[in-house]
Structure formats: C-alpha cells, structure tokens
Amino acid sequence: MPADVPAAALGHVFRRPELLRQALTHRSFAADHNERLEFIGDGVLNCAIALMLYERFPQMPEGDLSRMRSSLVNRDTLYRHAAALDLGASIRLGEGELKSGGATRPSILADALEAVFGAILLDGGFGDAYAAIERVYAADISGADTDAIAKDPKTLLQEWLQARHLPVPEYAIVQVQGEAHAQTFEVVCSIPALGVRAKGAGASRRAAEQAASARAYDQATQAPQP
C-alpha cells in the first residue's frame, strides 16, 4: 500500500496490490483506470452506510435513513475523507490533469476513494470493505445528528413551505469563481411569496444551494406570514 494511503486509517493490507494501484489510476493516466472500481465502490459504500445507520438508529423511518445516507455518501463528504487520507498524493494522473491541479480536484478525489473501497471489496470481501468504510466514517456515524443530517437545509425549507401551501424555492447560480479544480459556487435561493432572497457559497453547486437554503430558512421562519 502506498505510504500516502495510511494503512491504519483503512485497516486493510492488500493481497492483490494491483487492485489498489488501479483504484488510484485516473483515466487520463492509463487505459486500466479506476472507473469500474468506482462503480463497485459506490455500491458497497451505499450498502455499508445503510447498515451502519440501520443499526445506529433502530427507530428511524426509511425516508429519514435515505436522506441521512445521501448526506454521508455524496461527493462533498467523500472529498473531505479523501483529502484527510491525502489520496491526492497517490493518484496517478496524466500530465494535463496533473498540471491543471487534478490531484486536488474534489471530483477526482471523491471518485478515487470510492474506487479504493471497491478494490478492498474485490480483494478481501464485504467484511473487509465494511471495516474500512467504518473506520473512515466512524466519526460521522457516531456523531450523527438526526435533525441536522436526516433533513438537510433544502429539505427542511421545502417541507416548511409545503406545510404552508407555498411554492418551492427557486435556485440560481449567480457566480462561479476559481480554477476548475478549486471552484467556488455562489447560489441565490428565492422565495418570492415571502420576499426572501438568500445567498450561499460552496465548493459545489449542491453545497452552495444547501448554504443558501439554510439562510433562506432562517429568513422565512422570521418573516411575516402571507
């Protein structure tokens, strides 16, 4: 295992190190790249997180479990964990991707981490993959806040509006800044019926929409009702 992928963090010693090498190979580097492993990794990650949440929250209904799982397996969370593991230092990239900052690009890092999970599944079976995912996500699962995660700001805002028979909010990107590998999105969330217009920023459109939704929710719940 490359030194840049901490063995203690993943808890897996590869019997077939070529699987890890493939998981850390971007399509710009070689034909034998990590996209098929990413596909497998996405499946095992969703299954493992679903099992963890099922056991952690025995009384939570299916809809809330699904929303919580989505918040844990999305690209932003995967990127955060991949960056913490310093996967970027180990990913093999083509010259063009390397020069354009691919080693720090959220999408490349998130996909590589999923591919690593897929490689562990093929190398050691579901038990090993589950254990690796559990190690990476331990703090997320143990510190999970059902109110904060099960219903993200967009969901909270939409449900609050629907309960009052108001139209769903409107979202629009107003600005994108930075290089392709380190972009910042600015989004406006509007609720014309309440005169609410809130801005939010993030490393992805989704993150920016969530930030804007949180501010719009604060404004909406304090505004005079029509």
Parse the chain into domains and list their residue ranges.
7-145, 153-222
Positions marked active-site: 42, 114
The pLDDT tens digits for 100-120 are 888 888 889 999 999 999 999
What is the residue whose two structure tokens read 């459109």? 205
Q: What is the DSSP letter of 92?
A: B
What is the pTM (predicted TM-score) of this model?
A: 0.70
The pLDDT tens digits for 136-175 are 999 888 877 665 555 678 888 998 899 899 999 999 999 9
Of the chain, the percentage scoring pLDDT greater than 90 comes to: 58
Cα 20 from Cα 16, distance rounded (Å): 8
153-222 CATH fold: Double Stranded RNA Binding Domain (3.30.160)
Strand boundaries in the chain, DSSP class E: 170-177, 184-191, 196-202
* DSSP β-bridge partners for residue 190: 170, 197
Question: Averaged over 115-142, what is the pLDDT?
Answer: 95
pLDDT band at residue 10 under the 50/70/90 scheme: confident
pLDDT band at residue 1 under the 50/70/90 scheme: very low
pLDDT at 155: 86
Residue 143 or 212, more confident: 212
Q: Which CATH architecture has domain 7-145?
A: Orthogonal Bundle (1.10)
Burial class (CB in 10 A: 0-12, 13-18, 19+), 5: buried
**What contacts 205, CB < 8 A, 6 or more positions away?**
173, 185, 187
